Structure 1
Amino acid sequence: MDVPPESASVPAAPEAVPERSDSASILFGGAPLVLSDSPAAKPTSSWQGFLAKFGLATKPSPQEIARLEHAERQARFEEEVRRAVWTRAVSVLVANRKGGVGKTPVSLLLSGAMASVRGGSVAVLDAADDSGALRLRAEGTPRLGMGELVRDINQVKTAGQLKGYTAPQTSFADVIGSAPERPRLSGEDIVCVSKVVDEFYSIRVMDSGNVYRAEAFQGAVSVTDVLVIPITNAGDAVIDALELLRQLRSAGGAPERLADTAVVLRLHDGRPETPAVADEVERLLRDAGVTTLLDIPYDAHIAERGELTLGKLQPATREAFVAAAAAAVRTLQDNVSND
């Protein structure tokens, strides 16, 4: 897919060195990034590394160059996420009417990548009209959640009180899920909860439902700064994504801006894929004005459909979510600065 200049720093997928088995990120056990002119940045593999120890100059191999470029790129993504600041809390809405495209995993893992880099202050909400799967896919079994928070919202005055409705994650994100029997959420419920959450968290991520006309979805759109759309390489997933963009643009104003700046994440779920379908997906998105498309590689931990832990992802998948977090943060900075 042709990528415009403003999105060129975000690669389709961070897999420049497929054979690598560790993460380039220091957050996930990789080595700290060093400047290219420092001794530690000299070739370190095989005979090149041996000669470098004695101060003998050698030309880095293509594999070594690719490894260093990959590490530098990942470090830039992390720096973008870590250093981003706003004068108010900001929000991300994860949406696609098509079920099974990964809205809940993306909500958890994208927020987890942000929280792990920034050291927390990221909340994830179940913003579906009916109870969603967020509580089931998150770590932990909290006693309270979205339904109880809506009920008690006028009594929540401190960060400590709000924490009681969350499930803390090992990524440092906090999840506010829903019990299966909670009442249907209204648009006002989403707005009221968002206002309270924004008092105590810097970033709010919302996992939406499948009905665009639902009150809860409309409420979520009204308190969103950037839209993230998960898709797969399948026609129905892309058609529903395009319909979402169309509806938002038809509303004008802030919803139209969400459509124009949407970040699309293409998840590879292990099902057979063909280059022709992938090319058509990219063409349709490009024609619809999408300028940021990133790939999330297949990961067995996501495919298991159980509890998700950021640290259990494969290194390439974790890095892909950090790249996605950088793309979302970049869009947040543009959108919020234009308020």
Structure 2
Amino acid sequence: MGSTPTEVMAFPKISAIVRDNGTAEVIVAGNSRIVPAGKSLQELRTNALDVVVGEAKTLQRPVRVQIEDPEGHGELIVHPDHTIESLSYEAHSSRRRRAQAPKTTPESAAPAVILTETVPAPEPVVGPTVMENVTASRMSAPEAKQPATVWPPIPAEPESVSSDLPPTAGEPEDPQPAVDPDAEPLTRRSLKETSFLVSAPVLEPATQGWRGTLTRLGIRMGPSAAELSEREDIRTVSQHWPGPRTVAVVNRKGGANKTPTVVMLSAVLARYSGAATVAWDNNESQGTLGWRTEKGAHDRSVLDLIDSSESLLSPSTSAAEIAKFVHHQTGDKFDVLRSDENEEGDHEVTAEEVDIAHQVLTRYYRLVVMDSGNTARAANWRRMIDHTNQLVVPVTAIEDRAEAARLTLQTLDSRGGHDAELARNAVVIVSESTDSKRSMSGDALKRAKDEARRIADGFEPFVRAVVRIPYDPALVNGPIRYEALQPATRRAWLAAAAAVANGF
């Protein structure tokens, strides 16, 4: 039996949306429900209504549902027993023009009346259930009940007019399709065209915010858009890719946040992917990566690794031997290869030595993140670029650092070939000023954020991705630890690592 529309509560708000790209979605109180895929628009509608019936069963009462598809929109009442009542349906203007019924005289037109029939719930079957259409519309005389699908209602068709006139010339009286005697029977299908795997992946419930709180209290809630975005970034950085990858972090200006960027990218990628990761200080003389990270139980540097490269590249050498030359970060799960810390500073790394060190490291590690000096003309800097798969250009929100970053990208782009490709696909990471903000007023903090936004917007048209990092005191001085960062900063570095990983 039908229900009086005013008796059916409008809460929760339910929408069923069918799209012309072959997907459908049911949204209940702002939470998306998975709709099984269908082979046609009508099958998608049926699957979506099945989901709504499930909600009605859960609530143990009829529910209202707003429907929207490529052909029109309207409103239904859906009962737990699979009864469907159509309250309204309006076709889009183009469809109305195509499906307009013939006009009727006022004497022959009858008011539209919605009739409903209740049928028993279908027996369980393997695979997605298909709900029967159970609503009919009486659009003319009461005796002429016309079957109509609920969604969308079938427009009235003009009655056929019998005629004794002969068929039009050139038109066959009883056309028959041609039969190919060699064709396989229509009932036989190839197993390659069939699959029993039709279920969509189950979306895990929310774990963050008030949605996560309600889920823990037993009310299952879908994740918010922000949580879904974070999950996608985690999935991206957790991927394993074939072969080693090398990331170069470059800016011709000192104080541009190169070393913190190397540490944070190494930490995020190592933590989430589990891939063996090494951060290599490729300064031509002495860099600062060793000062901002944990020191192991030895003093060895890249020069010691190069001197021992023959034994390290021997097939008989154990993978554990690399630990003699790198400094493990116990919390963040990556290793550090320090630059030469000879007090006399009498050695500059050559291009050939970069080749040797890179060959050793890519034997023991899947991911190499390289810190760099400030001289783009140095031999070790240029050879680093030759080995690079993904370029990262860090910059603090200070105009001279931003200008140096622009010139670095311009230099690479002007060289053409591999260097230019790296520049076009670079990831620019804009960090707010790392100066202490204890004495900064609210207006000064706002200006700092505005400047970071201005610089980020300026780079956006010229590179593949730009990510902004908020100010965090844990990045200013001393050893850098991922767990010491504020939650917003960790989230920003996850986004930055995902942007980098997308280039692998």
Q: Structures share a fold, TM > 0.5? A: yes
Greater Cα shift, 272-281 or 150-159: 272-281
Contact 2:206 2:227 in 1 (8 A): no
Q: After TM superposition, give the deviation of residue 113 of structure 1 in Å.
A: 0.5
Match of 2:474 among 301, 309, 315: 301
Q: CA–CA distance in 1 between the matches of 2:303 and 2:472?
A: 32
Contact 2:391 2:427 in 1 (8 A): yes
Partner of 2:372: 208
- Cα distance per residue 1:212-260 (max 9 Å; x no partner): 0001101100100010010011111111111111111111111111100
Partner of 1:15: none
Cα distance change, pair 175–279 in 1 and its aligned pair in 2 (3 A): closer
Is it true that 1:225 corresponds to 2:395 in the alignment? no
Q: CA–CA distance in 1 between the matches of 2:457 and 2:472?
A: 25
RMSD of aligned Cα (Å): 2.6
- 1:51-70 aligned at under 5 Å gives the runs 53=218, 68-70=224-226
Partner of 1:160: 320
- 1:169-188 aligned at under 5 Å gives the runs 169=329, 170-181=331-342, 183-188=347-352
Partner of 2:291: 136
Cα distance change, pair 117–230 in 1 and its aligned pair in 2 (3 A): same
Partner of 2:267: 112
Aligned to 1:231, the other structure's residue is in SS state strand
Q: After TM superposition, give the deviation of residue 296 of structure 1 in Å.
A: 1.2
Q: CA–CA distance in 1 between the matches of 2:274 and 2:207?
A: 28
- Cα distance per residue 1:122-168 (max 9 Å; x no partner): 11111111110011111124421212112222221332222211111
Cα distance change, pair 179–40 in 1 and its aligned pair in 2 (3 A): closer
> Which structure has the highest helix share of the two?
1
Q: After TM superposition, give the deviation of residue 298 of structure 1 in Å.
A: 1.1
Aligned residues: 284
Q: Which runs of 5+ in 1 are unaligned?
A: 1-33, 333-339
- 1:1-339 aligned at under 5 Å gives the runs 38=205, 43=211, 45=213, 53=218, 68-86=224-242, 88-141=243-296, 142-157=298-313, 158=317, 159-169=319-329, 170-181=331-342, 183-271=347-435, 272=444, 273-274=447-448, 277-287=451-461, 289-303=462-476, 305-332=477-504
Structure having the higher Rg: 2
Aligned to 1:85, the other structure's residue is in SS state coil
Contact 2:432 2:470 in 1 (8 A): yes
Partner of 2:19: none
Aligned to 1:207, the other structure's residue is in SS state strand
Cα distance change, pair 279–49 in 1 and its aligned pair in 2 (3 A): closer
Contact 2:432 2:452 in 1 (8 A): no
Q: CA–CA distance in 2 between the matches of 1:39 and 1:97?
A: 44
> Which structure has the highest strand share of the two?
2
Contact 1:120 1:172 in 2 (8 A): no
Q: CA–CA distance in 1 between the matches of 2:294 and 2:481?
A: 7
Q: After TM superposition, give the deviation of residue 37 of structure 1 in Å.
A: 7.2
1:251 alignment partner AA: R
Contact 1:269 1:299 in 2 (8 A): no
1:292 alignment partner AA: A
Q: After TM superposition, give the deviation of residue 84 of structure 1 in Å.
A: 3.5
Q: After TM superposition, give the deviation of residue 76 of structure 1 in Å.
A: 1.2
Contact 1:135 1:179 in 2 (8 A): no
1:146 alignment partner AA: V
Aligned to 2:252, the other structure's residue is in SS state coil
Aligned to 1:123, the other structure's residue is in SS state strand
Q: CA–CA distance in 2 between the matches of 1:178 and 1:217?
A: 13
Q: After TM superposition, give the deviation of residue 81 of structure 1 in Å.
A: 1.2
Q: CA–CA distance in 2 between the matches of 1:117 and 1:211?
A: 33
Q: After TM superposition, give the deviation of residue 291 of structure 1 in Å.
A: 3.3
Cα distance change, pair 37–105 in 1 and its aligned pair in 2 (3 A): closer
Q: After TM superposition, give the deviation of residue 99 of structure 1 in Å.
A: 0.7
Contact 2:392 2:427 in 1 (8 A): yes
Aligned to 1:83, the other structure's residue is in SS state coil
Aligned to 1:246, the other structure's residue is in SS state helix
Q: After TM superposition, give the deviation of residue 44 of structure 1 in Å.
A: 5.1
Contact 2:236 2:501 in 1 (8 A): yes
Q: CA–CA distance in 1 between the matches of 2:215 and 2:309?
A: 60
Structure 1 runs of 4+ aligned residues shifted over 6 Å read 39-42
Greater Cα shift, 140-149 or 117-126: 140-149
Greater RCO between the two (CA within 8 Å, min separation 6)? 1
Normalised TM-score (structure 2): 0.52
Identity in percent? 26
Q: CA–CA distance in 2 between the matches of 1:215 and 1:296?
A: 31
Cα distance change, pair 74–187 in 1 and its aligned pair in 2 (3 A): same
